Amino acid sequence: MQFNTYTAAGALVAAELVNEPSASAAWLSILLERYKVHRPSMDQAAAAELHRWADGLRLAFETTGTEQAAAVDALFVAADCRPRLVTHDGLPYHLHYAPLDANVTTRVKALTTAGLAQLIADGAAGRLGSCRREGCAVVFVDTSRNGRRTFCSVRCANAVNVQRHRARRRYGEAHR
């Protein structure tokens, strides 16, 4: 599935924040730079604030329907999201969900919320998921063609398939 760049950035950054709950400020700065977030540098205090923010983001990946929409709507309120039409760094006008001069945490909160909300509004809420392997807490944005991803990785999918195979085998042996 193709997502527009800003939507993809917000949703993908949200997943990365949830999956790296204790990432350093340097790692988070590199992450934000990779997704072309304006002025991505941060200190440890900002990183700690984003780690707390990630707890709320997790609900968007682990719930569905009305509960998912309500969770993201609550994030909009918490982020005090206020869309702006801006231009910077030679780019054409585009939407930002917080003022350009806002601190990095304010901008990331708005970006992640808007990215998740846009997927839900576009009818792609099912593309936000969490790994179905028991004990795995990884969340993801499903960018696969068919949108039926249920595991975070091939490794987790294989582990579940092997577990199911062994259970069927044990059941078959017990009932001979």
First-last CA distance in the chain: 47
- The confidence score (pLDDT) of residue 55 equals 92
130-175 tens-digit pLDDT? 999 999 999 999 988 888 889 998 899 888 888 787 877 776 666 6
CB 4 within 8 A of CB 41: no
Q: Which residue has the tokens 């072309």?
A: 36
Fold classified for 5-125: Jann2411-like fold (1.10.3300)
Structural domain spans, the chain: 5-125
**What span, in angstroms and rounded, lies between the C-alpha atoms of 159 and 157?**
5
19-72 tens-digit pLDDT? 998 899 999 999 999 998 888 999 999 999 999 999 999 999 999 999 999 999
110-141 tens-digit pLDDT? 999 999 999 999 888 889 999 999 999 999 99
* Number of Cβ atoms within 10 Å of the Cβ of 88: 11
CB 15 within 8 A of CB 142: no
Residue 3 has pLDDT above 70, yes or no: no
Section 70-82 average pLDDT: 93
- The confidence score (pLDDT) of residue 2 equals 52
Residue 100 has pLDDT above 80, yes or no: yes
- The confidence score (pLDDT) of residue 175 equals 67
CB 76 within 8 A of CB 117: yes
∠79-81-87 over CA atoms, to 5°? 125
Task: Give pTM, 2 decimals.
Answer: 0.84
User: What single-letter amino acid sits at 84?
Assistant: R
- The confidence score (pLDDT) of residue 131 equals 96
Write the CA distances from 165 to 78, 134, 147, 158, integer angstroms: 45, 16, 25, 10
